């Protein structure tokens, strides 16, 4: 809103300083500061409100250290995170940008799903919350919406590089915009291409998977593209949900992943850096930096209250939303194949549960007694069972997350 106001003032009245709002870097800085202020100033009031309404966490006894102290800790703290994401984005982002519209819609949709789940648990006293099939249906609806928008919106396009020797030799990031633009095709095109890590000329077109259909195979790209989008959103969203088991774990690792997405959005949306790094140029994606800055600020600000010992839990209101948002960001930036690296913590947490359940069922059927690979799943509880304090587990997981994030960024040049 402020972006549109100051853009109007700058164009109409030429007010000094109003032009600053044309710079993504300036608005991103304002966005992260505003999200931090919202979480730090209003977070405590929201926590007190949740306590007053007796919105306390019911902790299932798993025989883990510290569970007794967590009983009754306010949940649904994801309201704090969502507020600190949505308000700065509405204030400082270009609200006509298709990527901003799509990511805001995804955030609200997943936040409402998580809120409904928490509401059923807390107020209806149903520990199961929203039935799993309804969560999957909700995530499926979002995945279809994202996939259809990516495929058919005329505003979502890419500018492909001109693969000529002269273009490949240009590596100066200080070139002018006019110079840099010569190395991309003048017309933006619709495409189902994505980025493959570690491969030179690292673009892969999902449509090529159905090339066998015939000359018009690109018209049927949705057959493979939409299911892939749905799978990624469901997997990452649920992976974050599983990771939210220790104080600060999901929040900290999500902040690291989102910050990395911010770097990728910045370089992908700028044709000078896109040319220098020899990556896909995605017009208008730079605006996502505003949203991502708010996301990172919200997660860091929430850690003020969520770090051990937690004063509030995010609940599914937060965990379903932040995981799904990271997945949607990766899809929009055509970097979804980086998710196994960037979101390695979420992936391992997911796999630990799948492996544990699968092995238990298999051995029970074969031997009559179920056996376990880990002491407990998800993985962070396994380390708790081994005697590690949860603060140590959280910090080490965040350190690993930072290492994976750095590795994800350098894949832009490692080919």
Please determine, for residue 61, whether its predicted confidence score (pLDDT) is greater than 70.
Answer: no
Kindly report, residue by residue over 311-327, the tens digit of the pLDDT: 999 988 999 999 999 99
Residue 13 lies in a domain: no
Cα 333 to Cα 409: distance, rounded to the nearest angstrom = 13
**Residue at 371 is within a domain:** no
Number of domains in the chain: 1
Q: Quick check: is 353 in a domain?
A: no
Whether 17 maps to a domain, the answer reads no
- Whether the pLDDT of residue 310 is over 80: the answer is yes
Percent over 90 (pLDDT), the chain? 56
Q: For residue 383, is it within any domain?
A: no
Distance CA(26)–CA(148), nearest Å, equals: 32
Residues in the chain: 415
Residue 395 lies in a domain: no
What is the value of pTM for the model shown? 0.90
pLDDT tens by residue, 159-208: 766 554 444 444 455 555 555 555 555 567 888 999 888 877 778 899 99
Average pLDDT rounded to a whole number, residues 348-369: 92
What is the SS3 assignment for 320?
Answer: helix
What's the CA gap between 114 and 137, in Å, rounded? 13
Mean pLDDT over all residues of the chain?
87
What is the number of H-type helices and E-type strands within the chain? Answer: 17, 2
DSSP codes of every residue in 30-63: HHHHHHHHHHHHHHHHHHHHHHHTT-B------S
Asked whether residue 402 is assigned to any structural domain, the reply reads no
Dihedral sign of CA atoms 266, 259, 288, 24 in order = negative
The pLDDT tens digits for 136-172 are 999 999 999 999 999 999 999 887 665 544 444 444 5
Indicate whether 369 belongs to any domain. Answer: no
State the residue range of the domain holding 279.
30-341
- pLDDT band per the 50, 70, 90 thresholds, residue 362: very high
SS percent in the chain: helix, strand, coil, step 5: 70, 5, 30
- What pLDDT, on the 0 to 100 scale, is given for residue 330? 96
- pLDDT confidence bin for 115, thresholds 50/70/90: very high
Report which of 73, 76, 71 is spatially closest to residue 59, judged by C-alpha positions: 71
**C-beta atoms surrounding 356 within 10 Å:** 21
Lowest mean pLDDT among 153-157, 196-200, 228-232, 390-394: 196-200
């Amino acid at each position: 809103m402020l972006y549109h106001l100051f853009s109007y003032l700058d164009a109409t009245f030429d007010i000094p300083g109003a032009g600053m709002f044309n710079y993504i870097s300036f608005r991103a800085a304002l966005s992260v500061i505003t999200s931090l202020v919202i979480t730090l100033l209003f977070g405590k009031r929201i926590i007190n409100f949740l306590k007053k309404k007796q919105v306390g966490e019911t902790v299932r006894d798993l025989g883990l250290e510290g569970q007794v102290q967590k009983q009754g800790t306010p949940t649904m703290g994801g309201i704090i995170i969502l507020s600190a994401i949505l308000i700065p984005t509405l204030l400082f982002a270009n609200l006509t940008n298709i990527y901003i519209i799509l990511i805001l819609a995804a955030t609200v949709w997943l936040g409402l799903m998580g809120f409904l789940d928490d509401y059923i648990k807390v107020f209806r006293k149903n520990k199961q919350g929203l039935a799993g099939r309804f969560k999957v249906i909700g995530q499926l609806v979002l995945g279809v919406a994202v996939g259809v928008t990516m495929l058919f919106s005329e505003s979502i396009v890419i500018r492909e590089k001109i693969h000529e020797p002269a273009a490949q030799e240009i590596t100066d990031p200080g070139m002018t915009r006019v110079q840099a633009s010569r190395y991309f095709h003048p017309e933006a095109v619709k495409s189902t291409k994505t980025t493959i890590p570690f491969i030179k000329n690292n673009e892969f077109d999902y449509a090529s998977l159905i090339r066998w259909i015939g000359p018009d195979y690109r018209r049927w790209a949705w057959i493979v593209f939409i299911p892939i989008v749905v799978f990624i959103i469901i997997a990452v969203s649920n992976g974050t949900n599983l990771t939210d088991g220790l104080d600060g774990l999901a929040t900290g690792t999500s902040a690291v992943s989102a910050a990395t997405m911010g770097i990728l959005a910045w370089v992908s949306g700028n044709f000078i850096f896109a040319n220098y790094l020899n990556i896909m140029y995605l017009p208008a994606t730079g605006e996502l930096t505003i949203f991502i800055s708010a996301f990172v600020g919200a997660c860091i600000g929430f850690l003020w209250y969520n770090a051990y010992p937690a004063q509030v839990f995010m609940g599914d209101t937060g965990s379903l939303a932040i995981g799904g948002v990271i997945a949607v960001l990766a899809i929009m930036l055509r970097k979804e194949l980086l998710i196994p690296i960037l979101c390695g913590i979420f992936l391992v947490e997911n796999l630990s549960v799948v492996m544990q359940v699968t092995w238990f069922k298999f051995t029970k059927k074969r031997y009559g007694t179920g056996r376990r690979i880990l002491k407990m799943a998800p993985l962070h509880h396994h380390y708790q069972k081994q005697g590690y304090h949860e603060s140590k587990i959280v910090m080490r997981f965040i350190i690993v997350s930072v290492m994976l994030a750095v590795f994800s960024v350098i894949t832009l040049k490692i080919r």
